[in-house]
Structures are given as structure tokens and as C-alpha cells.
Amino acid sequence: MKHPQLNDHQTLAATLKALAHPVRLEILQLAADNGPMHAGQFNAVIAVSKQDLHRHLIVLRDEGLLLVQPTGRTPTYELAQPIIIPLLAAVALATAQA
């Protein structure tokens, strides 16, 4: 049986690669829990350098998982695809049962 939503394997692989880092998963979870946040708010919770955080934010933005909203001098980041959180929860549950 074909799954039409899985036909673009390149795009799916790129999205999964963007998700394949604990810091990026934490960024998405924080954005889901708190709504729009600026980089300093992420940095207050996640123990990485500002440069590393910025790099992770760019990966998530470029992959379409985060939206960036200009708000004065400091942009805010929010989930672009809220459905990703239950998907990640399902993956976590499936791997815990394996």
C-alpha cells in the first residue's frame, strides 16, 4: 500500500535530520509549552552558547519548523507546525516500548 504523504523522501529526511538533535527538540518543546520566545529566553533554559543556540534556531527555521517574527530588536520564535509535538510524543512512546 502506498502512502502518498511519504512520497517526498528527500524532504522527509531533511525534516527528520533537523529534528535529530536534543537541543532542537528542547527548543521545539519550549516553544510549544510557552508560545513565542526570543533567543535569550531559550538560552536561559538551554545550556548552550549563544552561537550554538542561534545555529539550532536557524536549522529549525530553515526546515519550516519555527517561524521567526520580528519584534523590535529581538525576533521571537514560535512553532510553525504545532502538530510536530504530538508526533514527537508518539515517537518517544514507540521507542520506549521497543
pLDDT tens-place string over residues 15-57:
999 999 999 999 999 999 999 999 999 999 999 999 999 999 9
What are the tens digits of pLDDT across the range 66-91?
999 998 888 999 999 889 999 889 98
Q: Do the Cβ atoms of 44 and 55 come closer than 8 Å?
A: no
Q: Closest Cα partner for 24 from 67, 55, 64, 70?
A: 55
Q: Tell me the whole-structure pTM to 2 decimals.
A: 0.87
What are the angstrom distances between the C-alpha of 27 and each of 3, 46, 69, 73, 86? Answer: 30, 8, 16, 21, 15
User: Distance (Å, rounded) from C-alpha 79 to C-alpha 59?
Assistant: 13
